[in-house]
Amino acid sequence: MARKFRGSEEVKVDGKGRMSIPARFRRIFEAGDPDWSSAERTRMIVVYGPSSWKKLEFYTVRAAERIDEEIDRLPRGSQQRIWLETLMNGMATEAEIDTDGRLVLPQKLRDKAGLDEMAFFTSKGDFIEVWSPANYSEASGSLEEFMSQFPEDFDPRSFLAGGQAPDGAEG
């Protein structure tokens, strides 16, 4: 099983669109690039999505390949397949992390996500969401609203298979 991204971090974006990818995230992008070597740039996939998105999604090459394999199993011509192909391929681009650990994002992508001086990275397991800090703060309100329907001591791990929290306590 592929390593997962964990944690969140805010990074600076310079006037040329360069941002440093935190080392713990770079290691996962490197491990997820089948062609990577220490002398090479690390490849990744940036999904910028539809106009309504205020974020970018960064995937390892292997994670994007796994999604492509799942898409390929959908019926050719189905609306679900067309939508996913459009999102994951038509609204995406390949990018590279240079040997200094920096990624240069094109102006078009920085503008789309509202990335000016700072970018906020938040891990989602097999990918990273990249937001402007202001847009992330705004978007995280819907999760907080969902969470508010549960008691303070509710354990969300009870949503996992079996409906039991890891210690066996009911959720």
- pLDDT 10s digit of each residue in the chain, 171 long? 568 999 999 999 999 999 999 999 999 999 999 999 888 899 999 999 999 999 999 999 999 999 999 999 999 999 999 999 999 999 999 999 998 999 999 999 999 999 999 999 999 999 999 999 999 887 777 788 888 999 999 999 899 977 655 554 444
What is the reported pLDDT for 3? 82
Cα(90)–Cα(166) distance, integer angstroms: 40
Cα(87)–Cα(81) distance, integer angstroms: 10
Mind listing the domains of the chain with CATH numbers?
8-149 (3.40.1550.20)
What is the reported pLDDT for 169? 45
DSSP 41-83: PEEEEEE--STT--EEEEEEHHHHHHHHHHHHTSPTT-HHHHH
DSSP 118: E
Q: Report residue 34: phi and psi, to 5°.
A: -60, -20
Token pair 């310079």: residue:
14
pTM of the model: 0.87
What is the reported pLDDT for 171? 42
Long-range contacts of 80-87 (CB under 8 A, 24+ apart): 87/47, 87/49, 87/50
Cα(17)–Cα(104) distance, integer angstroms: 5
